[in-house]
């Protein structure tokens, strides 16, 4: 497997853009509210309209598009068994911190433990 510097660079880009996309999308959907309830009140098109007028949604989509293209490049250069676990574990850690400090979610001991178990689990699966 090729692990040249470009692989690490594109992996870093993938992790950062994935994390940014996740956090911005969580921010957008948190501001919009429960889509199920909106759909009951305003119908499917009403729910879609609320999503499409959100600036945070389009910022998230931009970050996710960067994430998608960096993933394609990473998959072209390295194995899925390396790209998947390596990026997921890092994204998990970044997202958990962003959830607590930026999105102001109550990251309880249960959630920290779950995030840590997933990271360790991903490490074991990728060995």
Partner 1 sequence: MTPKKYLILFAITVFSTVGDLFLKKGMNQAEIISLVHPWVLLYALANPWIIFGVLILCCFFAAYISSLSWADLTYVMPATAFGYVLTALTSAVFLHEHVSASRWTGVLLISMAVGFVTRGPAKTVPPPEISVEAE
Tell me which of 11, 15, 20, 28 binds partner 1, using CB under 8 A: 28
Q: How many CA atoms lie within 13 A of 62 on its CB side?
A: 7
Q: Is 63 in the site for partner 1 (CB under 8 A)?
A: no
Q: Is 5 in the site for partner 1 (CB under 8 A)?
A: no
Sites for partner 1 among residues 64-93 (CB under 8 A): 64, 68-69, 71-73, 75-77, 80, 84-85, 88, 92
What does the angle CA 106 – CA 112 – CA 117 come to, to the nearest 5 degrees?
Answer: 150
CA gap 113, 97 in Å, rounded: 13
Least distance between partner 1 and beta carbon 73 (Å)? 5
User: Residues near 95 by Cβ (< 8 Å), separated by ≥ 6?
Assistant: 19, 22, 23
Q: Is 114 in the site for partner 1 (CB under 8 A)?
A: yes
Q: How far is CA 118 from the centre of its chain?
A: 15
CA gap 69, 63 in Å, rounded: 10
Q: Which residues make up the interface to partner 1 (CB under 8 A)? A: 6, 22-23, 25-26, 28-38, 41, 50-51, 53-57, 64, 68-69, 71-73, 75-77, 80, 84-85, 88, 92, 95-96, 98-100, 103-108, 110-111, 113-115, 117-118, 120-127
């Amino acid at each position: 497997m090729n692990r040249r510097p470009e692989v690490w660079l594109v992996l870093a880009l993938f992790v950062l853009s994935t994390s940014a996309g996740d956090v911005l999308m969580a921010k957008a959907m948190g501001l919009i509210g429960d889509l199920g309830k909106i759909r009951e009140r305003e119908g499917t098109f009403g729910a879609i309209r609320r999503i499409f007028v959100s600036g945070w949604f389009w910022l998230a989509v931009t970050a996710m598009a960067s994430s998608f293209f960096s993933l394609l490049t990473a998959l072209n250069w390295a194995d899925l068994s390396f790209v998947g676990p390596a990026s997921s574990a890092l994204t998990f850690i970044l997202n958990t911190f962003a959830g607590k400090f930026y999105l102001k979610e109550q990251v309880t001991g249960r959630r920290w433990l779950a995030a840590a178990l997933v990271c360790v689990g991903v490490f074991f699966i990728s060995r």
